[in-house]
Chains A and B, each alone.
Chain A
Amino acid sequence: EAEVAQSPRYKITEKSQAVAFWCDPISGHATLYWYRQILGQGPELLVQFQDESVVDDSQLPKDRFSAERLKGVDSTLKIQPAELGDSAMYLCASSPSGATDTQYFGPGTRLTVL
């Protein structure tokens, strides 16, 4: 069964450093999502792509976060500079075409900012 892949699984960094996370969605899925999950809370959407285009980045802190999906397949989420409050699980999800399709989640990247 195809799954969403993410790397790295764990990342420890110091504040003010730059970090990047990678996501490879299920093959053929046009919609890709990045969520942030703070410990003890539900995931919160950061950015949504339809193919290579951003369709929703209203919750993305654009002064420090950026995301791209250049060829409409895999995606990178970057934080520069990282802050203590960025410590969280970063989850990537994909769905066939968005709308109300099922979203399939990757294993996540656990970020710790020291």
Chain B
Amino acid sequence: GENVEQHPSTLSVQEGDSAVIKCTYSDSASNYFPWYKQELGKRPQLIIDIRSNVGEKKDQRIAVTLNKTAKHFSLHITETQPEDSAVYFCAASTETSGSRLTFGEGTQLTVNP
């Protein structure tokens, strides 16, 4: 089955700096890659996703890049703010897996004022 690895497990940045979180996946058939933000005690919320027919997607301060050849994708957050502090999860799925999402282990991002 699919295996998703996520790095780093913790990331601390100064407000205004950029943050990058990287994930690798094992199943070359994976074609959907969402990123979720989970604040303490709250539900995971989708912040951005990318499908395998594109290499990059941006939404304001957030961007995701996908390298299908290398089987990795990354989340980029620019101009970080304290409210960006949360746990971020990457995930991957394939239609052949019945849309099962396989999640990474998560990255605790802390943005210091």
Contact = CB atoms under 8 A, between A and B. Distances in A.
A36 B80 CA distance: 30
Interface of A: 4, 31, 33, 40-45, 48, 55-56, 91, 95, 98-108
27 contacts: A4-B43, A33-B101, A40-B106, A41-B105, A41-B106, A42-B91, A43-B44, A43-B89, A43-B101, A48-B98, A56-B100, A91-B44, A95-B99, A98-B98, A99-B95, A99-B99, A100-B51, A100-B93, A100-B95, A101-B99, A102-B46, A103-B34, A103-B46, A104-B46, A105-B44, A105-B45, A107-B42
Interface residues of B, number: 28
Contacts of A98: 98-99
Given A41-B106, A45-B102, 19 more contacts: A42-B4, A42-B6, A42-B103, A43-B44, A43-B101, A55-B98, A56-B100, A91-B43, A98-B99, A99-B99, A100-B31, A100-B32, A102-B34, A102-B49, A103-B46, A103-B101, A105-B43, A105-B45, A106-B43
Nearest 8 CB-CB pairs, A to B?
Answer: A42-B103, A100-B32, A105-B43, A98-B99, A105-B44, A107-B43, A56-B98, A42-B89
B61 to A, nearest CB: 20
